[in-house]
């Protein structure tokens, strides 16, 4: 079941998107649930507990909280990095503002059904791969950690420290061995001693990066090109 929310203060846009989604549900036999919201406050009220949605079509220009502020709240306050946000707007040119909210895509109005179908199919493919785990051995026991909960790995002599949302794990390994497991989940080196989950980066600066838990990590000159490449890949949808 794919749970999809649409948030736009223009009721005609919400109606059109809902009709597109219903058509796609029928044509592609994808089970969906639809939720309509007409302002940011209504939408965020639905986040009172856990994230109830898989995909969110979010207008940028709205009275009250705009789409950029809503996306920032979802990522920073709710700590939700799995919800796929697709921004919609009547104006292009928001890429830099939207990047830190990690959107899946950006659609310029008028919205086409083909574009909506492409996004839905992409999310379905992503959801089929979300249960990705990193495995390591600690005290003769294999630990399996959901990759999205890992912020970064740091090398400490012959051991590696995995920094998670609520805890840390220390195990024997090399960072290159760790990378073999997580390289397809947007992890990359920012420094010879740091392997970072780029989905969990809050801010980039020339000298360091700031993770969404507030940790500040170094950036080495030799890894700057790789950092730019991963950022570009993540921002293709902006």
Is a pLDDT exceeding 70 seen at residue 175?
yes
The answer to whether residues 189 and 113 belong to one domain is no
The answer to whether residues 29 and 60 belong to one domain is yes
Instruction: Of 182, 202, 191, 200, give the one whose Cα is nearest residue 226.
Output: 191
The answer to whether residues 187 and 220 belong to one domain is yes
The answer to whether residues 121 and 40 belong to one domain is yes
* Host domain of residue 64: 2-127
- DSSP line for 18-79: HHHHHHHHHHHT--EEEEEESSHHHHHHTTSSS---SEEEEESS-SSS-HHHHHHIIIIIS-
The answer to whether position 238 is within a domain reads no
Q: How do residues 11-53 score in pLDDT, each as one tens digit?
A: 999 999 999 999 999 999 888 999 999 999 999 998 875 667 8
The answer to whether residues 114 and 219 belong to one domain is no
Q: Judge whether 193 and 131 are in contact, CB under 8 Å.
A: no
For the entire predicted model, the pTM comes to 0.61
The answer to whether residues 80 and 187 belong to one domain is no
The answer to whether residues 109 and 140 belong to one domain is no
What is the rounded distance in angstroms from the CA atom of residue 19 to the CA atom of residue 13? 10
The answer to whether residues 167 and 203 belong to one domain is yes
Instruction: Of 173, 98, 184, 113, give the one whose Cα is nearest residue 148.
Output: 184
Work out how many domains the chain is built from and give that number. 2
The answer to whether residues 185 and 200 belong to one domain is yes
| Residue 195: partners with Cβ closer than 8 Å, 6 or more residues away | 152, 153, 154, 175, 178, 179, 182, 187, 188, 189
Q: How do residues 57-91 score in pLDDT, each as one tens digit?
A: 999 999 999 999 999 998 888 877 778 999 998 87
Q: How do residues 84-138 score in pLDDT, each as one tens digit?
A: 999 998 877 665 567 777 888 889 899 999 999 999 998 888 776 555 789 898 8
The answer to whether residues 59 and 158 belong to one domain is no
């Amino acid at each position: 079941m794919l749970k999809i929310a649409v948030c736009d203060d223009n009721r005609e846009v919400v109606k059109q998107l809902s009709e597109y989604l219903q058509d796609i549900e029928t044509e592609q036999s994808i089970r969906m649930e639809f939720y309509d919201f007409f302002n940011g406050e209504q939408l965020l009220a639905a986040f009172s507990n856990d994230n109830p949605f898989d995909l969110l079509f979010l207008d940028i220009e709205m009275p009250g909280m705009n789409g950029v502020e809503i996306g920032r709240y979802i990522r920073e306050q709710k700590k939700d990095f799995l919800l796929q946000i697709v921004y919609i707007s009547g104006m292009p040119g928001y890429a830099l503002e939207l990047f830190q909210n990690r959107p899946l895509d950006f659609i310029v109005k008028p919205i086409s059904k083909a574009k909506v179908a492409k996004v839905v199919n992409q999310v379905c493919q992503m959801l089929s791969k979300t249960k990705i785990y990193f495995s390591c051995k600690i005290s003769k026991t294999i630990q399996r950690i959901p990759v999205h909960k890992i912020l970064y790995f740091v090398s400490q002599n012959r051991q590696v420290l995995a920094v998670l949302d609520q805890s840390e794990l220390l195990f024997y390994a090399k960072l290159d061995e760790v990378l073999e497991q997580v390289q397809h989940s947007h992890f990359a080196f920012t420094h010879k001693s740091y392997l970072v989950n780029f989905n969990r980066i809050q801010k980039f600066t020339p000298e360091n990066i700031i993770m969404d838990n507030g940790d500040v990590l170094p950036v080495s000159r030799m890894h700057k090109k790789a950092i730019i490449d991963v950022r570009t890949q993540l921002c293709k949808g902006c």
